[in-house]
Structures are given as C-alpha cells and as structure tokens.
Amino acid sequence: MQAMPKASATPGKLLLTPRDHTLIMIDFQSQMAFATKSIDAMTLRGNAALISRAAKGFGVSTILTTVAAASFSGPMFDEITAAFPGQALLDRTSMNTWEDEAVIAEVNRLGKARVVLAGLWTSVCIVGPALSALDQGFEVLVIADACGDVSDEAHDRAMDRMVQAGAQPMTSLQYLLELQRDWARGETYDMTTGIARELGGAYGLGITYAKTMFNASEGH
C-alpha cells in the first residue's frame, strides 16, 4: 500500500514564476489579425496587452518577434510595444520562429528552460516553435486566448496537437495571477490589480466594485 504523501505549504514546480521562463510574443501584426476569426480583434488586443504588461511588470524575459514587418505583415500591436518601449523587434522570414537564428540566439542568451508562447496564427506560427522547442527538451506553455487563427477549427486543432505533444495550455488572466500568486506580495499587488481592473473583463469590474464600495483588499 502506497504511503500517504505529506502536504506542505509550498508551490508546485509546474507553476510559473517570473524568473523561470521566457515569454515569446509572435506576429501580433495587422495582416495576421485581419484573417483571424477564432477570437475577435478587441479581445485579442486586450489579452495581448494584459500579458505584455504582466511580463513587463514582473520582469519576465520577453522576446518580441515579427514576420516580414516592412514588406507584408505590418507593425506589431501598439499594446505590446508600449509595454516594452525601445525593445528590438526580431523580424523573420521563417514562419517557424524556432528556425530563426536571431530568435534562437536570444533564447539561448536568456537561458530559461521554460518557454511561454502567444501569437498569430495558432496553427502555423505557434505550432512551429512549440513542437520544435518540445523536441529540443524545453517545457512549453501556450496562452490559448492570446492566440488566434483563421477559424475556430484551425485554432482548436492546433491547441490539440500541441497539448498532445506535451505543451501546457493556459489563459491570459491565469498568466497574470500565476505570476502574482499571493496577494500578500505587496510590491506587485497594485500593479496586478491595476492590470486586472483595466484588462481583466468581468473580474476587473469585480475588483473595481469591491474597492469602491468596501475598500476591499485581497491581501488583508
């Protein structure tokens, strides 16, 4: 009979921390967004803004990459570049980010064994690096609601394929709250609740209501 495990008040190793992963934001560009149908443009932009501001605020290593920005796909969303002022955008010719030498050099320089992916389109520009990184021994997470594709079917089958290969799916709000994880962390409390209030949908409305009506505070 197997012994009962002993519980301890410590986080599981599968949970993200701000210092243990690299966030790669891929092809959040006008041309890619025009054909995206699995998520509406405003929701996509809001979720992209949420994870960008979360990553910047928590000091997450972040790579911003585009494809054929000047000649075809257009600029990266303002919501993302505003969170990372002055950061270089690594422009590629390859649809698979993991086949771009400049991106891989930056992944290796940052030296994180975990990679979190978000971008357009799920079935091409996210599947490519996800499967490639998994094949090379990286742990891969995909922020599903900060990705989009030309149809629900294309997005869903791409998520299925990545999950079956070992990638872990998550959502934008989950990403923010997993980085915070304890409301007693006062140094990031105001930032986290501020991002959630502005970009967290109904949850953000709830925070605004609680703070306005009752001066509520999760950490106390």
What domains appear along the chain, each with residue ranges and CATH number?
21-181 (3.40.50.850), 185-220 (no CATH)
- Where is 59: in which H helix or E strand? none
pLDDT at 214: 76
Which whole number is the average pLDDT over 29-42? 96
Confidence of residue 209 (pLDDT cuts 50, 70, 90): confident
Cα–Cα dist 109/77, whole Å: 25
Confidence of residue 34 (pLDDT cuts 50, 70, 90): very high
DSSP state of 99: G
Listed in sequence order, the residues at least 6 apart from 29 whose beta carbon sits closer than 8 Å to its beta carbon are: 66, 67, 69, 73, 74, 75, 76, 77, 120
pLDDT tens-place string over residues 91-127:
999 999 999 999 999 999 999 999 999 999 999 999 9
Please provide residue 94's backbone torsions phi and psi, each rounded to the nearest 5 degrees.
-80, 140
Confidence of residue 84 (pLDDT cuts 50, 70, 90): very high
Confidence of residue 213 (pLDDT cuts 50, 70, 90): confident
Is residue 100 classed as helix, strand or coil in its secondary structure?
Answer: coil
Cα–Cα dist 164/112, whole Å: 23
pLDDT tens-place string over residues 167-188:
999 999 999 999 999 999 999 9
Please say if the pLDDT value at position 62 is more than 90.
yes
Q: List the 139-148 sheet strands across, edge first.
A: 90-92, 61-67, 21-26, 114-120, 139-148, 168-170
pLDDT at 1: 76
Please say if the pLDDT value at position 53 is more than 70.
yes
pLDDT tens-place string over residues 124-178:
999 999 999 999 999 999 999 999 999 999 999 999 999 999 999 999 999 999 9
C-alpha torsion sign, points 44, 102, 165, 167: negative
